[in-house]
Structure 1
Amino acid sequence: MGESSHERFEMDPRLGLYRRFKDISISERILNTAFLLTIGIGYLVALVNLYYTYQGKDGKSGLSIDDVMVAYHGSHDQTRLGSAINGIMEPNLKYKSDKDVILKWIQQGAEEPEYNDHIAPILNRDCIGCHTPSVNPSLPDLTNYAGVAEVAHAGGATLPFLIRVSHIHLFGIAFILFFIGKIFLLCDLNVIIKRITVAIPFVAMLLDVSSWFITKVFPEFAYVVVTCGALMGVSMGIQILMSIYQMWFYSSNQETR
């Protein structure tokens, strides 16, 4: 069976016809909406995860720019392991007294003999359920002294850690932004606005990841990390909300590119 003239025009943008939400079926609207809502909820959960991951790294409750600086650049007063033990990881310790044992070991130089005698049994019991490369490669490896030493000394995130997390981040988020953008392009909006809106989250993501490495050297770049992360989230939110609104509540007879 041959294609209708409308289908042929729709497949050739040079003829001036572009698909809009009014052109798609109810089933496709339901599919798009379910995807966008799931991604939106997932992003909100990711924000909560970010809070619990970074809060308390400066030794104070709550999330601040100093927490981001410590996470990437490090601190002479705080190590990643010490900050985690004082913050997010403290509830995971079976015995509260183990916190003082670990902090004392860090303050005394985090040497391997003491690690084998006193620290490894604690971490093996309470921490390696999550901090194992085969279980969660994005978290520090606490299954051996070499991995623990990386986070027990001041210096922030290591270069191998940043490379591992950034490659996961770029691949995963890029796919999400692509599919959100493909749906958003069906909106009935000015072409310039749409082009800028779909490009912003990609640019923000690239600047965000690049700033991780720069912040390791220059801690002030933590402000760029936070700003770019927020910009990416806001631009994603705008695309999701605008797409859902136009799919179900908006109608227009104008055909714009």
Structure 2
Amino acid sequence: MNTIPVPDLPRLPLPVRVLFTGYLLAVGVGLLIAGAQIMLTHGMADGKPGLSIDDIVYSYHGNRTNTRLESALNGSMQGYAPDEERRTLIDWARRGAPASDWEPTIQPIVQQHCVACHSTTPGLADFNRLANLQERADIDTGPSIASLTRVSHIHLFGITMLFFGVGLIFAFARGFDPIFKSLLIAAPFAFLILDVAAWWLTKWQPGFGWLVMFGGFGYSVASTVMIFTSLYQMWLLRVPATEARWDVMPTGQGSSQR
């Protein structure tokens, strides 16, 4: 029975290897920057550097001993205003965010440190309006259902396409058992779905916070293995001269069998 030869990574034409390499490098750098962004936002939710279970819980379930404004000012927004002015805003929120303090005390601080982003950035509340700031002076229950829905669908659609490309390239890797290769290709998608599902579970019950870390760690490891393996095989793995062309099957996999 004749079989159609299938190209593998070491024997791909140079232009294809360049195309695949550019994609993998861009995705790899993007994943690193995404990790840094997580450390600078979620990683500061408890006011301490480094990602912890408390950070995850505060990010999705909320810190229900504080107002939302206080949690933000002690967490991801900590570096955007001096300590004294942050304490003024926190004290105002704890006192119920009275409107009488807005013009003489609170508005000047907000104008100086907050509205540069919280008036021009899509998705962020306009802090030129007192009512928007007062809404964040209630108990921190984490992101709203509407916000979590928006982030979830963006996360699923966007990252799924990245993993599709990485998996498609890795599918041409040689030297792997087909079952193991298939499981590795499927792993990032499974961990991604688990990660997003864990956001919702943690919103409901903080004990699920560890699942968020497990899901994110899982798809990061799986995609990293595929990226480095693909780059290695395309540029560093040497094949015998008899296999230099992609339309010649590797030894032991003759192009025709009976």
Aligned residue number for residue 152 of structure 1: 137
Inter-partner Cα distance in structure 2 for 1:37 and 1:177: 13
> Which residue identity lines up with residue 163 of structure 2 in the other structure?
L
Deviation at 1:146, TM superposition (A): 5.2
- Cα 1:117–1:52, aligned 2, differ >3 Å: closer, same or farther? same
Per-residue CA shift, 1:222-256, capped at 9, x if unaligned? 10001001101111101100100111122453559
The one of 186, 201, 205 equivalent to 2:172 is 186
TM-score when normalising by structure 1: 0.82
Aligned residues: 239
Tell me the residue number matched to 1:25. Answer: 13
Aligned to 1:56: 44
Q: How does 1:24-173 map to 2 (within 5 A)?
A: 24-93=12-81, 95-111=82-98, 114-115=101-102, 118-132=105-119, 135-137=121-123, 140-143=124-127, 144-145=129-130, 147-153=132-138, 154-173=140-159
Q: Is the 8 A contact 2:60 2:143 kept in 1?
A: yes
C-alpha contact 2:10 2:235 (8 A) present in aligned 1: no
Q: Larger Rg: 1 or 2? A: 2
Alpha-carbon contact 1:59-1:78 (below 8 Å) kept: no
For residue 220 of structure 1, what is the amino acid of its counterpart? G
Contact 1:127 1:142 in 2 (8 A): no
Query: C-alpha separation between the residues in 1 aligned to 2:218 and 2:32?
Result: 14
Letter in 2 for 1:56: M
Aligned pair in 2 of structure 1 residues 72, 145: CA closer, same or farther (>3 Å)?
A: farther
Q: SS state of the match for residue 64, structure 2?
A: coil
* In 1: Cα distance, 2:149 partner to 2:193 partner: 13
Of 194, 197, 213, 1:210 maps to 197
User: Given residue 170 of structure 2, which amino acid in structure 1 is its aligned partner?
Assistant: F
Matched, 1:230 2:217: yes
The 3 A distance-change label for structure 1 pair 128 and 199 is farther
CA contact (8 A) 1:150 1:158 kept: no
**1:30 deviation in Å?**
1.7
CA gap 1:146/1:241 in 2 versus in 1, 3 angstroms? farther
2:41 match: secondary structure:
helix
Gaps of 5+ in 2: 240-249
Contact 1:177 1:202 (C-alpha < 8 Å) held by counterparts = yes
Partner Cα distance (1:147, 1:202) in 2:
37
Distance change >3 Å, CA 230–CA 131, structure 1 → 2:
farther
Q: Tell me the distance in 2 between the aligned counterparts of 1:198 and 1:146.
A: 48
Distance in 1 between the 2:186 and 2:118 partners?
Answer: 35
State the Cα RMSD in Å.
2.4
Q: Aligned in 2, Cα 1:246/1:161: closer, same or farther, shift over 3 Å?
A: same
TM normalised by structure 2 equals 0.82
Structure 2: how far apart are the matches of 1:81 and 1:193? 48
> Relative contact order (C-alpha < 8 Å, sep 6+): which is higher?
2
- Residue identity matched to 2:133: V
Task: Could you tell me which runs of 5 or more consecutive residues in structure 1 were left unpaired when the two chains were aligned.
Answer: 1-13
Aligned to 2:247: none
